[in-house]
Amino acid sequence: MVLSLPFQKDSPSIMSRSDVKQPLLTGFAVIDALVPVGLGQRQLIIGNKGTGKTTLVLNIIKNQKRANRYFSPEGRGRDRIFCVYVAIGLRLQKVKSFLHTLKLNQCDWYTAVIDGSAARPFAQQYLSPFAAATYSEIYRDNGLNALVIYDDLDKHANAYREANLLIRNPSGREAYPGDIFYIHARLLERAAQFSKYYGYGSLTALPVVEIKGDNLNTYIPTNLISITDGQWFLRTDYSKKGLYPALDIEKSVSRIGRKAQSSLMSWISNDFKNNLLSYLRISELLSMGVSVSNEQRSSYESGLAALGVWNQSKPRFFEDNILIILASNLNLINFKMSKKAIISILEYTYKKNNFILSGILSHKHLNTKNGNLLRLKKMIVRFLLYIFYNK
């Protein structure tokens, strides 16, 4: 069926599209709270080599198994998210390792991997993202949700340049063909959230691009930044310090995802971001030997708790992230607590108060408005205070 479909298709019309309303949960607290992404959005992942871009998208794919449990308890229905990963110009061994990890984590049944690795002809590398988009559109056009990951479009542009140099087309800026912007824009515009009349299907795109020396001003990155709805910028120094995900929370932005964010997450994310920014700024002063006031020292310690929430090696459940972010905002946990201690608190919470959590953290309550939301906030704060002070 896929072979009979055209690789190049027009992007959906404006009339067929709808607002981005439903979040795509990544499982990472710092992303879901500060720079969230919604179904139907195009979010760029950008960073130097070795900053964990491919590892991040792998964890996002793995988290869809957990996120689907939250949205659809039976694991069925239209809330299911199908994933398509296309490797463009990567080492073949890296692609095999990626596929092996998917199988190991039992994520291969809802994930398709398209091989456009460096071992393949450059024509196949060039066509592979269009094949991935066409394959993903089958889910979108049938009222389902699809996530397509292009890893990465910098190497895709190189493959297109190689093809054009062979047929002696004139080179443009930085030796790239002049229509590379149009090609990437046409590809990424196929991501969309359909309206009710067209079946509510969605296609979310996460293009990846590699840069050198944290330079965002080169031709391909600037093109993709202007095409997409936001970017996750991964910093090299954060990665070297062992901070994961190595997200620059000041340069990263999501222009649409906030609209799809749940009311509760939106409420707690402001304090979380302020604590992180305070920590980053005061830590710079301390590294230069500048003395800080007692108030700044207190903000620094609150930021340490937020940093402990930020740094996570694998995705967590949405409920876990809600509880941990709230606990750090209330200074109920700190950075010095071991992971085992945090996990034990969560296990205690679920075992003893699962009936309470299922009520206050259900999808229905997360989207309450006005007075109901205020009552919900007070209920959760009281609940957290009780759990963490009476353990």
Contact between residue 243 and residue 309 where contact means Cβ atoms under 8 Å apart? no
Q: Which of 256, 265, 269 is nearest to 365 (CA)?
A: 265
**If DSSP states are collapsed to H, E and C, what string results for 290-352?**
CCCCHHHHHHHHHHHHHHHHHCCCCCCCHHHHHHHHHHHHCCCCCCCCCHHHHHHHHHHHHHH
Element (H or E) spanning 266, and its range? Answer: helix 263-287
Tell me how far apart the alpha carbons of residues 46 and 24 are, in angstroms, rounded to a whole number.
19
Contact 233, 47 (CB under 8 A): yes
Comparing CA positions, the residue from 21, 106, 67, 37 lying closest to residue 321 is 67
Query: Residue by residue, what is the 3-state secondary structure of 311-323?
Result: CCCCCCCHHHHHH
Pairing of strands 202-211, 230-234: unpaired
How far, in Å, CA of 98 to CA of 134, rounded? Answer: 22
Interior angle at CA 151, CA 149 and CA 154, nearest 5: 130
Sign (positive or negative) of CA dihedral 287, 309, 238, 212 = negative
DSSP 255: S
**Can you tell me the distance from the alpha carbon of 323 to that of 308, in angstroms, rounded to the nearest whole number?**
13
Considering the candidates 173, 255, 281, 375, report the single residue annotated as catalytic.
Answer: 255
Q: Is 78 a catalytic residue?
A: no
192-193 vs 253-254, strand pairing mode:
unpaired
262 CB neighbour count, 10 Å cutoff: 20
Question: What is the DSSP pairing of strand 192-193 with strand 202-211?
Answer: antiparallel
Rounded Cα gap, residues 384 and 266, in angstroms: 18
Whole-angstrom Cα distance, residue 304 to residue 176?
Answer: 45
Which residues are marked as active site? Answer: 255
